[in-house]
Amino acid sequence: MKSLSHSFANYLRTNAAFSTLAFAPWLHANSHEHEHAVELERVVISARPSERPLAIVTDPRAPAQPIPAQDGAEALRGMAGIAVIRKGGTDGDPVLRGMAGSRLGILLDGENILGGCGNRMDPPTAYVFPSAYDRITLLKGPQSVLHGPGNSAGVVLFERNTPRYSEPATKITGALTIGSYGRNDQFLEVRTGQPRVYAELAGTRTASDDYEDGDGRTIASAYERWSARAAFGWTPDAGTLVELSSIVSDGEAAYADRAMDGSKFARRNLSLRARKSPGTGIIEQVEANLFFNAVDHVMDNYSLRPFQPSAMMPGRAASNPDRQTIGGRILAKLSPDSADHWKLSAGTDYQSNRHRVRNTSDNSTDPYRSKMREKDATFTVTGVFAEATRHLSESDRIVTGARLDAWRARDYRKAVATGMMGSAVNPTAGHSRNSQLPSYFLRYENDWRPGASVYAGIGHAQRFPDYWELFSKESAVSVSAFGTRPERTTQFDAGVTYRSRTVQASLAVFANRIDDFILIETAYPKPSGMMGTRRATIARNVDAESLGSEASLSWLFSEGWTLDASVSMVRGDNRTESRPLAQQPPLEGRLGLSYATQTWSVGSLVRSVARQNRFALNQGNIVGQDLGPSSGFTVISLNAAWKPNRHWQLTAGIDNALNHAYAEHLSRGGAQVSGFPAPTLRVNEPGRTLWAKLDCKW
């Protein structure tokens, strides 16, 4: 039993960020050290059960199955309750509990980066290179107000640690990944510092050819992406940090679900952050950040696929949207009484967005580069917020918070495209709108026995419509959806977390009512010209509700042997129309069995997904719409890892070992892409995939 608990302790220590957060949720990111003797990094096939209410934390650099993630959406796949809507090989959209798009906030070191593409080629996670981060935290539910407005389903935090160096030190981290279908990734990071200053340099690159599904059908899915980051920090004393950093990245990606590919995903970023912890008095910490993000995206029908004229696009068409986001936040963490009965975090945040676009229907005669960029939309939002924890006793507490967001959006479009060739005068040209939207929550938490906690809370979040809901859709009655109402979610969340020496488990349940849920519907008939009709994509408000649950278990049942299991389910209804709410994932279960010693491990993953019969044809969200029912599937994967010394680890896997041909229920519809086989209804997942990853740390 002693050795059993010892190895489980090691096993927990490999999730150091996780434990740090669990034991000191107030002190974020102080240590994330992995430097012990030889200690194998376990292959993550399912994210660890929650240790604190509503939070799932993972290490984006840990070896994972399926093949280690190359973008931010894939990095979330292991978390129960998350699904990813596939479009091709990269840039899928993450969905939490059936809620996609801006219902799930994505913050990169506290910064918003919203995509530029009106057709949603670039969700925020398309600009995430997971290995460049130290930690990913998913916070479920409208149960926090610290991380920006409108996160009605939850928020994902991609974060880096910014520790002060106690003595001069240099750390080098690198990784190489190779896999089937020409997959190859490189990652190198150097962090060096001494007590007063530090510097960080990091580069990532990932590329793949088109993959094949289990039937040997080639899917348009090739991509190449890279990023580079530099940061300089000043830490004059233990309680002060100032960091200036910059990121540039770019990429290109083929899509299997549409008539264009993404030939440019350029990002430029500049960021300044400061943190001060006085060490005495009621102010524990004050932190501030300012950021600039610019996204420049190009999509076309000729650079990544053989050009083929079509009725919709007879020429070499290209579209070049861009978005600039400027924002910042100031947050104070207070400890108003010396006995620590109270903790209070309060602050303000701001963000402004400017979106522009330029298009051409024939780039060979009328190149888009020679055109002016035309501003079509601006958004600004200013929020004030406060969140407090009141300890009622040693073992129970109340957590509560509220925020108020003042939104302003302006419509600059003179005309609205109605299909590829036509356009109409914009009835809301020059209009602006303002909204003041409150959000709030209240939660009770109780540590009812050692290692076990229960919680229950109610939260309300009001979400302003995003760019895709206001500007890239029509409404039912107009070519402009600029009048779409804000969405109001009221949700009950409850759950249990448990941890002993050999068992870690969590159960979360939720139920909500969503008033004015923003539903996106395709193929909506509208009168066109003298006679016929045309099919429009519209945004409209309906009332909805959903409920669901996630359960996770990690059980060290015998020395070296671990069983991992998770189940997630959700059921959504469109109350206005008495039909299922669209784009809800089916019941899913995962079972993993692994054997690990200090230096090697072998493991397996069985992932089973049920059929989905509840659907609403052509309805959905800004990412995708329901295509019909889907059948269930089971996929089996195998992995092994070897760590000969503390500097190197080699991990390898076979994903979809039986080469099953299948598609996820939440997927974009397959499209005919020139040079590729006839499409399937949904974009099929990859067939058997072999991969290997070499990690090194010095």
Instruction: Give the binding range for Cu ion (CB under 5 A) out of 297-305, 482-490, 545-553, 574-582.
Output: 297-305
**What x-and-dash track marks residues 602-641 binding Cu ion by CB under 5 A?**
----------------------------------------
Nearest-approach distance from CB 121 to Cu ion, in angstroms: 3
Q: Tell me: does residue 121 bind Cu ion (CB under 5 A).
A: yes
Q: Tell me: does residue 202 bind Cu ion (CB under 5 A).
A: no
Residues 6 or more apart whose CB falls under 8 angstroms from that of 368 comprise 298, 318, 319, 320, 358, 359, 360
Contacts of 22-30 with C-beta under 8 Å, sequence gap 24+, read: 22/51, 22/52, 25/52, 26/284, 26/333, 26/343, 28/159, 29/134, 29/135, 29/159, 29/160, 29/161, 29/162, 29/163, 30/161, 30/163
**What x-and-dash track marks residues 68-107 binding Cu ion by CB under 5 A?**
----------------------------------------
Return d(Cα 173, Cα 208) in angstroms, integer.
22
Nearest-approach distance from CB 117 to Cu ion, in angstroms: 3
Nearest-approach distance from CB 265 to Cu ion, in angstroms: 9
Which CB sits closer to Cu ion, 119 or 512? 119
Instruction: Give the binding range for Cu ion (CB under 5 A) out of 153-161, 291-299, 305-313, 399-407.
Output: 291-299
Q: Tell me: does residue 318 bind Cu ion (CB under 5 A).
A: no
Nearest-approach distance from CB 299 to Cu ion, in angstroms: 3
Nearest-approach distance from CB 111 to Cu ion, in angstroms: 21
Instruction: Give the binding range for Cu ion (CB under 5 A) out of 10-18, 296-304, 403-411, 516-524.
Output: 296-304
Nearest-approach distance from CB 140 to Cu ion, in angstroms: 30
Angle made by CA atoms 673, 675, 680, in degrees to the nearest 5: 45
Nearest-approach distance from CB 359 to Cu ion, in angstroms: 11
Give the distance from CA 490 to its chain's centroid: 22
Nearest-approach distance from CB 487 to Cu ion, in angstroms: 24
User: For residue 675, how many other CB atoms are within 10 A of its CB?
Assistant: 10
Which CB sits closer to Cu ion, 259 or 494? 259
Q: Tell me: does residue 508 bind Cu ion (CB under 5 A).
A: no
Burial 27-39 (b: 16+ CB within 10 A, else e): ebeeebebeeeeb
Point out the residue whose Cβ comes nearest to Cu ion: 117
Which CB sits closer to Cu ion, 321 or 686? 321
198 neighbors 233 (Cβ within 8 angstroms)? yes
Residues 6 or more apart whose CB falls under 8 angstroms from that of 151 comprise 103, 104, 105, 139, 142, 144, 461, 463
Residues 6 or more apart whose CB falls under 8 angstroms from that of 194 comprise 165, 167, 168, 169
Which CB sits closer to Cu ion, 265 or 440? 265
Length of the chain: 698
Q: Which listed residue (76, 107, 117, 357) binds Cu ion by CB under 5 A?
A: 117
Size of the site for Cu ion (CB under 5 A): 4
Instruction: Give the binding range for Cu ion (CB under 5 A) out of 112-120, 210-218, 224-232, 519-527.
Output: 112-120
Nearest-approach distance from CB 119 to Cu ion, in angstroms: 5
463 neighbors 489 (Cβ within 8 angstroms)? yes
Instruction: Give the binding range for Cu ion (CB under 5 A) out of 96-104, 116-124, 303-311, 361-369.
Output: 116-124
Instruction: Give the binding range for Cu ion (CB under 5 A) out of 49-57, 293-301, 522-530, 564-572.
Output: 293-301
Which CB sits closer to Cu ion, 89 or 154? 89
Q: Residue for token digits 């193929």? A: 523
Return d(Cα 207, Cα 307) in angstroms, integer.
23
Q: Which listed residue (16, 57, 295, 299) binds Cu ion by CB under 5 A?
A: 299
Q: Tell me: does residue 253 bind Cu ion (CB under 5 A).
A: no
Which CB sits closer to Cu ion, 53 or 115? 115
**411 residue type, one letter:** D
Q: Tell me: does residue 126 bind Cu ion (CB under 5 A).
A: no
Report whether the peptide linkage leading into residue 278 is cis, meaning its omega lies within 30 degrees of zero.
Answer: no
Instruction: Give the binding range for Cu ion (CB under 5 A) out of 15-23, 118-126, 323-331, 470-478.
Output: 118-126
Return d(Cα 51, Cα 499) in angstroms, integer.
8
Give the distance from CA 87 to its chain's centroid: 15
Q: Tell me: does residue 298 bind Cu ion (CB under 5 A).
A: no
Q: Tell me: does residue 334 bind Cu ion (CB under 5 A).
A: no
Return d(Cα 587, Cα 572) in angstroms, integer.
12
Nearest-approach distance from CB 90 to Cu ion, in angstroms: 13
Return d(Cα 463, Cα 517) in angstroms, integer.
10
**DSSP letter assigned to residue 24:** -
How many helical (H) and strand (E) elements, i.e. helices and strands, does the chain have? Answer: 3, 35
Which CB sits closer to Cu ion, 346 or 520? 520
Q: Tell me: does residue 295 bind Cu ion (CB under 5 A).
A: no
What are 626's strand-pairing partners? Answer: 617
Nearest-approach distance from CB 362 to Cu ion, in angstroms: 18
Nearest-approach distance from CB 298 to Cu ion, in angstroms: 8
Which CB sits closer to Cu ion, 224 or 515? 224
- In order of 122, 203, 315, 499, 674, the CA distances from 309 in angstroms are 25, 39, 6, 60, 10
Give the distance from CA 386 to its chain's centroid: 25
Residues 6 or more apart whose CB falls under 8 angstroms from that of 563 comprise 553, 554, 555, 557, 591, 592, 593
Nearest-approach distance from CB 132 to Cu ion, in angstroms: 23
Q: Residue for token digits 């350029």? A: 266
Which CB sits closer to Cu ion, 119 or 301? 119
Which CB sits closer to Cu ion, 155 or 254? 254
Which CB sits closer to Cu ion, 146 or 299? 299
Return d(Cα 271, Cα 169) in angstroms, integer.
24
Residues of this chain that bind Cu ion (CB under 5 A): 117, 119, 121, 299
